[in-house]
């Protein structure tokens, strides 16, 4: 059964609803991501799971036990924050074993735990150092070591990599993934970084203004975004969106017919929406001899691929094409795509139609 159940969790601050009824079931060993823009309620939800905050309504169950009002220390969890919160006067070994000491774990066991964690995290050579003598990445590792030493039932991370530079972030991301493979501890991981979400998560909950917009595997979220918000939040550069008018199972924008598959046409028919937002990921666009006409306004070569900004009658489109673009800024071009790559959203409700 569920390792963690979040049931109808609400949190109000005065009249403001910060969390508007969150329901998530997390399986044992699962790596769940909470992702969303700053201020959407990720940390509030994580703190409620951790017992640092109490919901206004709803409940939290860990391994089938209702812990909604239990103290953090009675929840069998370990938490890693963005600020590592290491004890500056203790060395690395003491930092790692301190939590165990507080729980009256006997010394030989504590020493074994420190050894085990230090080996896993490859920080054996740092055990005698104080936090002040460590780099950012090393401190991050110690913070994770402290959490790992406890063998918790549940791991909670709140943006643990935000303070690291880009290269280290990639390294630590791989490290967290490796640790999760080894330890298989159920994990809830908060981030605003969509790449972290996509690469780490077994499932991702995309949050917006205190509610879950979509809960699914990275592939669900990317290939079949449930709403326009999810479609635009996940993926970089963001999905191109064209608002078109819907008539007789066709979509036109500025007099241009937007390509549709038979399945999309019948979905449109069923949805009966007057306006549709037609979404295309930048990598779904290619240059061709015919198609949507436009003018190249900017080229951004990144090496393996190029982002091309094209001004078209239906708005600016970003194409992400492999290698170099055989066109110059100012040149007239045509953009092509397959209808099956288009994502259709009801322009009013913003929900996926096809």
User: Of these partners, ligand ADP, Mg ion, none, which one is at the site of residue 40 (CB under 5 to 8 Å by kind)?
Assistant: ligand ADP
Nearer to ligand ADP, 40 or 342 (CB): 40
* Number of residues lying near ligand ADP (CB under 6 A): 10
How near is the Cβ of 296 to ligand ADP at its closest, in Å?
37
The token duo for 21 is 């009824």
Stretch that binds ligand ADP, among 24-32, 41-49, 293-301, 346-354 (CB under 6 A): 41-49
**Residue 195: DSSP 8-state:** H
Among 9, 32, 43, 142, binds ligand ADP (CB under 6 A): 43
Residues in 172-231 at the binding interface with ligand ADP, rule: CB under 6 A: none
Residue from the set 18, 24, 43, 164 that interacts with Mg ion by CB under 5 A:
43
Of residues 46 and 114, the one with the C-beta less far from ligand ADP: 46
Tokens found for residue 201: 């998560």
Q: For the sheet with 275-280, list strands across it.
A: 256-258, 250-253, 240-247, 275-280, 343-346
Element (H, E) at 44: helix 42-50
Q: Check binding of 191 to Mg ion (CB under 5 A).
A: no
Q: Give the CA count within 13 Å in the CB-facing half-sphere of 220.
A: 13
Q: Shortest gap between Cβ of 210 and ligand ADP (angstroms)?
A: 7
Nearer to Mg ion, 43 or 186 (CB): 43
Sheet arrangement for strand 154-158: 77-80, 154-158, 186-191, 31-35, 203-208, 211-216
Q: Decide: is 47 part of the binding site for Mg ion (CB under 5 A).
A: no
For ligand ADP, which stretch binds (CB under 6 A), given 40-48, 97-105, 148-156, 254-262?
40-48
Residue with tokens 């609803």, as numbered in its chain: 17
- Please classify residue 352 by burial: count the beta carbons closer than 10 Å to its beta carbon, then call 0-12 exposed, 13-18 middle and 19+ buried: buried
Residues that bind ligand ADP (CB under 6 A): 13, 18, 36, 38-44
């Amino acid at each position: 059964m569920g390792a963690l159940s979040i049931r109808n969790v609400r949190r109000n601050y005065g009249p403001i609803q910060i969390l508007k009824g969150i329901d998530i079931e997390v399986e044992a060993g699962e790596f769940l991501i909470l992702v969303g823009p700053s201020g959407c309620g990720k940390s509030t939800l994580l703190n409620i799971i951790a017992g640092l905050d109490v919901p206004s309504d709803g409940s939290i169950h860990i391994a089938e036990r209702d812990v909604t009002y239990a103290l953090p220390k009675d929840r069998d969890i370990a938490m890693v924050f963005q600020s590592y919160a290491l004890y500056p006067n203790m060395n690395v070994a003491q930092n790692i074993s301190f939590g165990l000491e507080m729980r009256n774990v006997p010394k030989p066991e504590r020493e074994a735990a420190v050894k085990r964690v230090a080996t896993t995290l490859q920080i054996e050579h740092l055990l005698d150092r104080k936090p002040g003598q460590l780099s950012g990445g090393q401190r991050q590792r110690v913070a994770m070591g402290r959490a790992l030493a406890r063998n918790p039932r549940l791991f909670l991370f709140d943006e643990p990599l935000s303070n690291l530079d880009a290269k280290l972030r990639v390294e630590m991301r791989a490290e967290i993934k490796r640790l999760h493979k080894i330890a298989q501890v159920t994990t809830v991981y908060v981030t605003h970084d969509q790449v972290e979400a996509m690469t780490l998560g077994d499932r991702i909950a995309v949050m917006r203004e205190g509610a879950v917009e979509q809960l699914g595997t990275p592939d669900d979220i990317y290939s079949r975004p449930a709403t326009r918000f999810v479609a635009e939040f996940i993926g970089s550069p963001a999905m191109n969106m064209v608002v078109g008018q819907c008539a007789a199972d066709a979509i036109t924008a500025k007099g241009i017919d937007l390509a549709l598959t038979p399945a999309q046409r019948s979905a449109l028919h069923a949805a009966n929406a007057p306006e549709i937002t037609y979404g295309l990921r930048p990598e779904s666009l290619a240059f061709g001899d015919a198609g949507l006409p436009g003018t190249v306004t900017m080229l951004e070569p990144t090496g393996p691929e190029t982002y091309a900004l094209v001004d078209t009658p239906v708005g600016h489109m970003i194409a992400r094409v492999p290698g170099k673009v055989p066109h110059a800024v100012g040149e007239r071009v045509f953009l092509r795509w397959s209808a099956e790559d288009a994502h259709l959203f009801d322009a009013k409700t913003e929900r996926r139609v096809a």
